[in-house]
Structure 1
Amino acid sequence: MEFTISPKVEDYRARIADFVDAHILPVEADRSQWDEHNNIGRPALTALREKARDQGLWCLQLGKDTGGQGLNKVGMAVCYEEMNRSIFGPVVFNSAAPDDGNMMVLEKAATEAQKDRWLAPIVSGQVSSAFAMTEPAPGGGSDPGMMRTTAEKRGDTYTLNGRKWFITGAEDASHFIVMARTSDDPRKGLTAFLHHRDEPGWRIERRIPIMGPEEHGGHCEIVYDGMELTADRILLGEGEGLKLTQMRLGPARLTHCMRWLGLAKRCTEIARDYADNRMGFGIRLADRESTQIKMGDLAMGIEIGRLLVMKAAWTLDQGDFARKEVSMAKIHVANLLHKAADTAIQINGARGYSTDTVLEWIYRYARQARLVDGADEVHQMVLNRLLSAAPDSFWKWPVATD
């Protein structure tokens, strides 16, 4: 088995690390450059994005013909982890959700005309995007088969009606991918549509307040009320919505994990720095066995997460959906991130609970990790289903061809 990365990927990783240290962490440390939702303010973001683009660190995940650098999933795992040593890192490099997943699925599924109209402006950074799938009960959440938003065909147009919620980035987004039901077929009943924010027939009902810090554009509840879209707005084909969600959500779940590993590592950095310098009762905190046990356990958890993510990334690069591998990584890394923030806060004491560090930001953000892109329990059920269906092949190693 090969556990090395290419010199090309290492070059990107090292340059990202230098960029984060030199340019992003100073902005993160200056709360006057944050916005009211605990995210990086637009003026600071615009300046940093220009620097990232100038240094060739823009949209690494996309093909060169699209405007990226052509990294595969393994290369992305290395670089995304490095980006998210800062809470603001991914958005600076145009590698943050939901634009990240939307760009990758548009690159794969859109026609050339659709790419020119809907993908290119996101790649350039001119606009942001949203993926409108999740619905309030009794609509579709983790189970897209429960979707109630409909797109009724009338001649050459489709009329959309329904409600979506917790749509990340919707308040700021210009380009939307929306999932709707076009028939009752269990496999071919869903269709993906493209629309612009300025088109009539939809509205943002509210920006939903959440416990944690928010992405630009928040998490919104959306109402579709007679929106009319022509057939050229269909992405991939009528009835191919379920396939499109599989294309988008599997890699998107894994890119979350890649980024979360960077945040978990940042937690250990802050904890180690404090423990190395904090004295109490005649001994450094770092020299206490209780601290060493906590930090050693956390280091092991992060390395396990990296291995799970790398195996899933490699499996995706082989052309597989990697359902088993992605679900394992998603469960482990989501829980790891929460544990890393909690441990680092405990070691830092009151300082960790304050806003003197970003630990409290990461802690509030981390709780959503066990919910977004499928709750822990959903992925555990997926793993059980795969194990029950093929108990022998579940454990097999892939065999190389001579």
Structure 2
Amino acid sequence: MDFTLSDIGEIYRKRIKEFVDKELIPLEKNPDSFDEHENINETLLQALRGKARQQGLWSLQMPRERGGQGLHVADMAPCYEEMNRSIFGPVVFNSAAPDDGNMIILNKMATTAQKDRWLQPIIDGAVRSSFAMTEPPPGCGSDPSMMQTRAQRQGDHWLINGTKHFITGAGVAAHFILIARTSDDSRKGLTAFMFHKDDPGWEIVRRIPIMGPEEHGGHCELRFTNLRIPDENRVMNVGDGLKLTQIRLGTARLTHCMRWLGLSKRALEIANDYVSHRESFGSKMADHEGVQWLLGEAAMNIQIGRLLTMHAAWKLDQGDFARKEVSMAKVVVSETLHKAVDTAIQLCGARGYSKDTPLEWMYRYARQARLVDGASEVHKMVLSKNLLAEGSDFWQWG
């Protein structure tokens, strides 16, 4: 593959970098910029979203005919990276999870009528969305075959009963994609549905407190008691829920990587600035060999993550599912994010551990990266199975 960014991708990258540097990073120093869940407050967010839309930086991942910018996945990668150099970035450009993954899968798989009703309001920023799949034990986590929530057909409707938890964004979402069991078939037993927050038969049991800063809408526990969903709100065919999930998670995992690389780079930017000015034992910290080792290793790992991410993005653009490539990127980048922020805190000392920089925010946020969208160990297990099945073809170039 050619690692030269396309002309359009480079134009968008530069414009997003300028927006982030000018509009977003300065806001991080003001406590009034944050809501009670340590995210950007809603009033400020809406104002910034308006600016992003005016500047043509809105919904890069969506087609132009629906109000997006129509970028390929490989062009999205450097742009998402630039967005998340600010902790506020992705949501301002309508490129944050879970809306990002939900828009991409609905654009790929929903009917035209479903796109008009369920997708377009998300693209427009009129509503937010959520993806309801994960369940409390003994239900499904990384293993969808353990799904307990059931959908029973009754004429032209489905009745949904069950419980979901850690559902990101559910607290503010209006449009939901729900995965439920429709049969006991190991491969074709799950089906995807859409429902609206005002539909009767479901409730938010609680917003689950977490260690780190939250996305808008938090991570919630949901209970379904005879939620009625018309069959017209089913996405894809009955039994295609696992397929939809796999397609969605492919790009969604990779866009996580793109954003995490931006946070990783920002952490090193903060550390670089500090060690370049701070003197210790008669010289700048940046001149100390031990400091250089820490920075060099972190920079190298970020570049490895970028190459893995771009390779996976390129394969997705070729029509490949890129399952191995996405898994490798997800493992490496999630661990790189944690290491990069940890390194920056170590170099900045008490300043990094304090709230004088966003590093402590990033550190608490970073810990989730090795868990969400499949724990690192699960991805490594899948990669191992591929290696055992393919042998040396695991590394084929084609």
TM interval, shorter chain, is: over 0.9
Structure 2 equivalent of residue 103 of structure 1: 103
- The one-letter code sitting in structure 1 at the alignment partner of 2:3 is F
Structure 1 equivalent of residue 184 of structure 2: 184
Structure 1 equivalent of residue 325 of structure 2: 325
CA distance in 1, matches of 2:327, 2:6: 26
The within-5 A match list for 1:44-55 is 44-55=44-55
Instruction: Report how far residue 343 of structure 1 moved.
Output: 0.4
Instruction: Report how far residue 150 of structure 1 moved.
Output: 0.1
Are 1:27 and 1:44, in contact at CA under 8 Å, matched by a contact in 2?
no
1:151-210, CA deviations, whole angstroms, 9 ceiling, x for partnerless residues?
001122110000000000000000000000011111111000100001100000100000
The within-5 A match list for 1:308-387 is 308-387=308-387
Question: What is the SS of the residue equivalent to 2:95?
Answer: coil
CA distance in 2, matches of 1:281, 1:239: 66
Unaligned 5+ segments in structure 2 are none
Structure 2 equivalent of residue 2 of structure 1: 2
Structure 1 equivalent of residue 245 of structure 2: 245
Structure 2 equivalent of residue 78 of structure 1: 78
- The one-letter code sitting in structure 2 at the alignment partner of 1:8 is I
- The one-letter code sitting in structure 2 at the alignment partner of 1:274 is Y
Are 1:135 and 1:141, in contact at CA under 8 Å, matched by a contact in 2?
yes
2:149 aligned with 1:149, yes or no?
Answer: yes
CA distance in 1, matches of 2:374, 2:278: 40
- The one-letter code sitting in structure 2 at the alignment partner of 1:140 is C
1:58-103, CA deviations, whole angstroms, 9 ceiling, x for partnerless residues?
0011111222111111001110001100011000000000000000
Question: What is the SS of the residue equivalent to 1:35?
Answer: coil
Instruction: Report how far residue 372 of structure 1 moved.
Output: 0.1
Structure 2 equivalent of residue 67 of structure 1: 67
CA distance in 1, matches of 2:209, 2:93: 27
Instruction: Report how far residue 29 of structure 1 moved.
Output: 2.0
Question: What is the SS of the residue equivalent to 2:372?
Answer: coil
The within-5 A match list for 1:33-52 is 33-52=33-52
Are 1:346 and 1:352, in contact at CA under 8 Å, matched by a contact in 2?
yes
Structure 1 equivalent of residue 283 of structure 2: 283
CA distance in 1, matches of 2:126, 2:96: 15
Are 1:134 and 1:140, in contact at CA under 8 Å, matched by a contact in 2?
yes
Question: What is the SS of the residue equivalent to 2:18?
Answer: helix
TM-score, normalised by the number of residues in structure 2:
0.99
Question: What is the SS of the residue equivalent to 2:70?
Answer: coil
Are 1:131 and 1:167, in contact at CA under 8 Å, matched by a contact in 2?
yes
CA distance in 2, matches of 1:3, 1:155: 53
Instruction: Report how far residue 114 of structure 1 moved.
Output: 0.8
- The one-letter code sitting in structure 2 at the alignment partner of 1:248 is R
Question: What is the SS of the residue equivalent to 1:310?
Answer: helix
- The one-letter code sitting in structure 1 at the alignment partner of 2:293 is I
- The one-letter code sitting in structure 2 at the alignment partner of 1:317 is D
Structure 2 equivalent of residue 394 of structure 1: 394
Aligned residues: 398
Q: Which moved more, 1:194-203 or 1:21-30?
A: 21-30
CA distance in 1, matches of 2:158, 2:292: 61
CA distance in 2, matches of 1:121, 1:372: 26
Structure 1 equivalent of residue 88 of structure 2: 88
TM-score, normalised by the number of residues in structure 1:
0.98
Instruction: Report how far residue 215 of structure 1 moved.
Output: 0.4
Question: What is the SS of the residue equivalent to 1:160?
Answer: strand
CA distance in 1, matches of 2:3, 2:119: 34
